[in-house]
């Protein structure tokens, strides 16, 4: 074989795993770290129970739940 190819056959053959290939389908845009952080951040909503811009709304307002518990205890 050495005469056919013109090079010496190595004594030890090193085989490495393949690099990660490109997946099929449409490519996605690579987002920056700032954009990833903005997605994880909670959006502010206007709560009609406490009339504030917070991360909750009137359905899960902590003040509304406290008022209901006080009314039931009487």
Contact in structure between 61 and 50 (CB atoms under 8 Å)? yes
Structure tokens at 39: 């997605």
pLDDT of residue 71: 66
What are the extents of the domains in the chain?
Answer: 41-70
* Residue among 73, 42, 72, 48 nearest 60 (CA): 48
Mean pLDDT for the chain overall: 80
pLDDT in tens, the chain (74 residues): 666 777 888 888 888 888 877 778 888 888 888 888 887 777 888 998 888 888 888 888 888 877 766 666 55
Q: If you ran DSSP here, which 8-state letter would residue 47 be given?
A: E
Query: pLDDT value at position 31?
Result: 85
Q: What is the pLDDT of residues 27-48, one digit of tens each?
A: 888 888 888 888 777 788 899 8
């Amino acid at each position: 074989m050495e005469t056919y190819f013109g090079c010496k056959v190595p004594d030890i053959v090193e085989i490495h795993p393949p690099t990660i290939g490109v997946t099929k389908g449409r490519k996605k845009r690579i987002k920056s770290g700032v954009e990833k952080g903005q997605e994880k951040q909670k959006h502010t909503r206007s709560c009609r129970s406490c009339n504030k811009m917070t991360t909750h709304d009137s359905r899960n307002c902590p003040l509304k739940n406290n008022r209901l518990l006080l009314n039931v205890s009487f």
